[in-house]
Amino acid sequence: MIEMPAPWPELSTAGWRETYDTLHLWTQIVGKIRYVRSPWLNHSWHVALYVTARGLTTSPIPDGTRTFQIDFDFIDHVLRIFSSDGAQRQLTLPGQSVASFHADVMAALAELGIHLAIDEMPNELPEPIRFSLDRKHASYDPDAVRRFFQILVNTDRVFKQFRTGFLGKASPVHFFWGSFDLAVTRFSGRRAPRHPGGVPNLPDAVTCEAYSDEECSAGFWPGSGAIDYPAFYSYAYPEPAGYRAVKVRPGAAFFSEALGEFILPYDAVRTAADPDRALLEFLQSTYEAAADTARWDREALECASGQPRVVRKI
């Protein structure tokens, strides 16, 4: 019997920093494999990973007339590569450095007849080291990864519920390996001014395409920089006048001037009497802050939250 962590487990950023950094780089390697084989989809949605019942997946990746898929299993702590012709390979995660992980994944793909090359420089990180040379990052704490995964499972579930209340263009709930966050985005239907770019180790063309449309985005990430603890975030692009002054819920939420985003510490959700409700309040109130100050057509864009087996009324 696998011992399950608490439904909303404790996870301090400092407590798993080295594992977090290593896992971040591993997801970049796997994400870049999806990137080089997938046709471009608006806002780079073709590069993201998705939460599964056991970890994260690329979903099927084209390879000629067949497909392959790469899955992180954070319960058994292995990486699995499957192809649609029935072949598969498996790698153990503990004990791997970034360099050995990169070498083993590429060797496993070659054994499956999948030949490709990726850009080995990490994205959106300071002082990047080429994957094939990075033996500095080699930590893996299975318990911390399991707790992180449980947070992703819960966040994915609540984000998907939130997504049902919107009729306009909305992203899937997906995991971006560059910034290492699980996110969901709503769009007003209007174009946005060109983004100035400048994201470290990310081409401006990618950033500008990602922010080509007016949006409100929310997500979860384990913390870094000015917010060095796990937190939920929400931001609007472009930021409307008066947005950052809006009072949002629950009471622990605040606007970070350093990040230009609303922040809700993960611990405020974890310790709430009803964590799902607290997170939904944050998602809804920050969306309303963006939609109201930017004058979105809310009547046309919104609907009641979805329920199992209940057809949406029109």
Q: What are the φ/ψ torsions at residue 264 (nearest 5 degrees)?
A: -130, 110
Q: Distance between CA atoms of 311 and 305, rounded to whole angstroms? A: 11
- Whether the predicted pLDDT of 1 surpasses 60: no
Q: What is the mean pLDDT of residues 273-277?
A: 98
Which pLDDT score, from 0 to 100, does residue 26 have?
99
- Whether the predicted pLDDT of 305 surpasses 70: yes
Q: What is the mean pLDDT of residues 147-162?
A: 98
Which pLDDT score, from 0 to 100, does residue 28 have?
98
- What's the pLDDT band for 309 if we cut at 50, 70, 90? very high
| Beta pairing, strands 55-57 & 78-83 | unpaired
Beta carbons of 16 and 233 less than 8 angstroms apart: no
Orientation angle between helical segments 17-37 and 98-111, nearest 10 degrees? 30
105-122 pLDDT per residue, tens: 999 999 999 999 999 999
Which pLDDT score, from 0 to 100, does residue 61 have?
98
Q: What is the mean pLDDT of residues 21-37?
A: 98
3-class DSSP state of 119: coil
